[in-house]
Amino acid sequence: MNAGGPAARLHIDWTRCDGRGLCTELLPEALGRDEWGYPVAAPGRVRSGRDATDVPLTGAELAAAMDAENLCPLLALRIIRP
Amino acid sequence: MSAATEIAAMQGGTAAGPAGPRLFAAGAAAGMAAHLAAYGEVPRHGRDWSLAEELEASGLTGRGGAGFGAWRKFAAVDHARRPNRYVPRTGGPVLIANGAEGEPLSFKDASLLHNAPHLVIDGLVAAAAELSAGSVFIYAGAANLAPVAAALAERADARHIALVEAPDTFVAGQASAVVNFLETGRALPRDLAARLAGSGFKGRPTLVHNVETWAHTALVARYGAGWFRTAGTPEDPGTRLVSVTGNVPSEVVLEVPGGAPLDSVLASAGVGSDAVSAVLVGGYHGRWVRPDGVVLSAAAAAGSTPAGGAVRPGAGVLHVLGHGRCGLAATAAMVDYLAGQSARQCGPCMFGLPALADVMGRLAAGTGGPGLVREVERLLALVAGRGACHHPDGTVQLVHSALETFADDVRRHLAGQCQEAAPAGGAVR
């Protein structure tokens, strides 16, 4: 992450997410899966409480994040641009 | 010096407002006559007067738990309601007085609605006039709506206020859950794309305040910001209601000034400091503290350790843990309750809180191995920040504070012994 903040954030709507895991396959650097299957921000990405739900992304991850947003079967993802 | 006398002493030089208790100045179960006798009419203000500016100058913070400046939400709704060529018109703003009080250890909102319903109504009426509100709701449990209905029947200026019965669940009072319930009949928190102030009930600018915040608003509208600040401290002005429960002579609601020392508040409730092992401040989403030297202040930094001297009062809950009760057992019972109160919408909360409750239960029972604390901390980190509402984060804060405050007990429990006779579940009423 550069000093000027993340290029964008991936917002996870937990009320929709069912842990299908597609996003974690498209964004392996940013997201892992917890023991129940839900996406979890990679440890280095979480600097504040917000980062766990609005996961910071690098510019290089934006294209994959847009795929994840469009392909999530539960429409649980939204890219937030700064 | 008791909290009540402190209020009286600090109000010595002011003319307008009630001396002594502010919110209950009209006495028990006050009807319109007693209400007007105690407070007078809300004065008609000139054009240069603005409730928004008065609220900002007063420093009033929300009394429902989060403790943000009350004027911020007010100003945000005021801004959102103004015609804007980039945003389609959505209808007038919506005002909601939230008295759901799902917190099991809190009963100050019930006490306020039963004894001073007209103050809450006054606050709504004043704000509705200033914001040109389209809809106004009072949301509370059935038992607490009855006195409000009686109060509304006594006055002609509040016919536009609708009463809505809140379900009796912990998360029903969460602001997005309130709006969701009004729209859909399901009191479940929402994932918020926008703030409620901008787009809440049916996309309209929506102002949700705790009922006590509305009552203080009514007093600010009457007597002004300067009077409001004659109680409390510059950082935490005014007074607040607290519900005192646990190992106390009798459970009471007290009105205390901002920045009040915890031990003097407890003394007003008849609790001697030598009888107190620890106090849960702020409720099930609050934190445990040892009361020595601690003051209650909305200005305390979020998550600050009580070593700093100030702790946020949250929803005003003070739950006393007497000597002889085990803080870990009390906390484990609370986490178990909180796990059961998950709205079961968000996976990390739905699965994480029961897992946390299970590990805390083993820690309290003294049946776990040495890796137990590490497992608690792993689960806390896993759950934190991963929900649509504050429920997982509040639970995390409770457990963190328990591990900190009861660190000695944790060591003893890991060694298989509990110093205190631990009645399991002793904390849940």
Lowest mean pLDDT segment, chosen from B7-16, B236-245, B301-310, B314-323: B7-16
SS3 B83: coil
Chain B: residue nearest A47 by CA? B385
The token duo for B203 is: 């996309």
Look at the block and give the residue holding tokens 């299970």: B358
Test the A interface: residue of B171, B174, B346, B359 with most A CBs within 10 Å: B346
Q: What is the ipTM of this complex?
A: 0.93
**B348-371 pLDDT tens trace:** 999 999 999 999 999 999 887 788
* pLDDT at residue B166 is higher than 80: yes
Neighbouring residues of B318: CB distance < 8 A, sequence distance ≥ 6: B242, B243, B244, B245, B246, B262, B265, B266, B269, B279, B280, B281
Q: Indicate if the pLDDT at residue B98 is higher than 60.
A: yes
In degrees and rounded to multiples of 5, residue B376 shows phi and psi of -60, -45
Confidence of residue B18 (pLDDT cuts 50, 70, 90): confident
Closest CA of chain A from B372, distance in Å: 17
**Summary mean pLDDT of chain B:** 89
User: What b/e string do you get for B382-392 counting C-beta neighbours within 10 Å, with b at 16 or more?
Assistant: bbbbbbbbbbb
Confidence tier at B86 by pLDDT (50, 70, 90): low
pLDDT at B12: 38
Cβ contacts (< 8 Å) between A38 and chain B: which residues? 347-348, 386
Residue with tokens 């202040």: B297
Nearest CA in chain B to A20: B347
On whether the CB atoms of residues B205 and B81 are closer than 8 A, the answer is yes
Looking at residue A3, its pLDDT comes to 56
Residues 6+ apart with CB under 8 A from B128: B95, B136, B160
From chain B, the residues in CB contact with A52 under 8 A are 384-386
Beta carbons of A14 and B349 less than 8 Å apart: yes
Q: What tens digit of pLDDT does each residue of B116-129 get? A: 999 999 999 999 99
Residue B88 banded pLDDT, cuts 50, 70, 90: low
All domains of chain B, ordered by start, with CATH?
19-228 (3.40.50.11540), 239-322 (3.10.20), 327-414 (1.20.1440.230)
B349 and A CB contact within 8 Å:
yes
pLDDT for B53 beyond 80: yes
Tell how far CA B295 is from the center of its chain.
Answer: 17
| CA separation for the pair A47, A55 (Å, rounded) | 10
pLDDT of residue B307: 56
Query: Is the CB of A46 less than 8 angstroms away from the CB of B385?
Result: yes
Which candidate, B427, B425, B178, places its Cα nearest to that of B286?
B427
pLDDT for A12-49, tens place per residue? 999 999 999 999 999 999 999 999 999 999 989 998 87
Locate B145 and state its tokens. 């709506």
- Which among B190, B351, B382 is the nearest to A15, CB-wise? B190
Picking from A9, A24, A33, A38 by the largest number of B CB atoms within 10 A of its own CB, the best residue to mutate is A38
B413 touches chain A (CB under 8 A): no
Of B132, B68, B137, residue with least CA distance to B97: B137
Handedness of CA B276, B279, B284, B287 (dihedral sign): negative
DSSP state of B273: G
pLDDT of residue B422: 45
pLDDT in tens, B271-305: 998 899 999 999 999 999 999 889 999 988 765 55
Q: How many CB pairs under 8 A join A and B?
A: 52
Judging contacts by C-beta atoms under 8 Å, the chain A residues touching residue B188 are 15
Considering only CB atoms, B191 lies closest to which of A15, A37, A46, namely: A15
Structure confidence at residue B3 (pLDDT): 41
Q: Is residue B1 over pLDDT 70? A: no
For the entire predicted model, the pTM comes to 0.90
3-class secondary-structure state, position B238:
coil
pLDDT at B68: 86
Q: What is the mean pLDDT of residues B145-167?
A: 96
Above 60 in pLDDT, residue B381?
yes
pLDDT at B120: 98
- With an 8 Å Cβ cutoff, is B385 touching chain A? yes
Cβ contacts (< 8 Å) between A31 and chain B: which residues?
Answer: none
Closest Cα in chain A, distance from residue B384 (Å):
7
Kindly determine whether residue A40 and residue B382, on different chains, have CB atoms separated by under 8 Å.
Answer: yes
| pLDDT at position B409 over 60 | yes
In chain A, the domains with their CATH numbers are 8-75 (3.30.70.20)
pLDDT at B141: 96
Q: Which of A15, A23, A33, A48 to mutate to test the interface with B (most CBs of B within 10 A)?
A: A15
pLDDT at B374: 94
Whether residues B348 and A36 touch (CB distance < 8 A) is answered with yes
- Provide the pLDDT for residue B6: 40
Predicted confidence band of residue B343 (pLDDT cuts 50, 70, 90)? very high
Q: Nearest-CA residue of chain A relative to B383? A: A52
| CA–CA min distance A54, chain B (Å) | 9
Which one of A13, A14, A51 makes the best mutation probe of the B interface by having the most chain B beta carbons within 10 Å? A14
Percent of residues, chain B, with pLDDT higher than 90: 74
- Residue B89, pLDDT score: 62
CB-based contact A34 B382, cutoff 8 Å: yes
